[in-house]
Amino acid sequence: MQDLDPETFEEEKYVEYFPRLQQAYKNAFNTFNEKYDSQLIHGIDQQVLNESEPHYEGDGEFTIELPEDPYDRLTAVVVDEEKFDAILSEYLDEIESELRRVFNIR
């Protein structure tokens, strides 16, 4: 998408771009739900990523801002913090990759 810039993205992300955001998050979820324990992935999706904030930084780079203390937000799933951090980091990379794909940014 040639006309995407950080300011426009912030202004329009929940109006014009919301379906693409949903698609990127859904694609990443589906990939990780098949790759890792589904309870853990559902927990991360519903208790951490549900309050995340995607940002377009420009030059094809997206970032995902997480709520404070993401590990502490996870309930009803037992996982050590090191494993959680590793999976969450990989999951965020996948979301960012999917965002680039759905916004057609190379």
> 68-104, pLDDT tens digit by residue?
999 999 998 999 999 999 999 999 999 999 999 999 9
pLDDT of residue 3: 72
DSSP string covering 24-88: HHHHHHHHHHHHS-HHHHHHHHHHTGGG-EEEEEETTEEEEEPPS-HHHH--S----HHHHHHHH
The closest of 87, 88, 81 to 66, measured between CA atoms, is 88
pLDDT of residue 2: 55
CA distance 10 to 62: 12
* Chain segment 3-45, per-residue pLDDT in tens: 789 999 999 999 999 999 999 999 999 999 999 999 999 999 9
State the residue for tokens 């519903």: 46
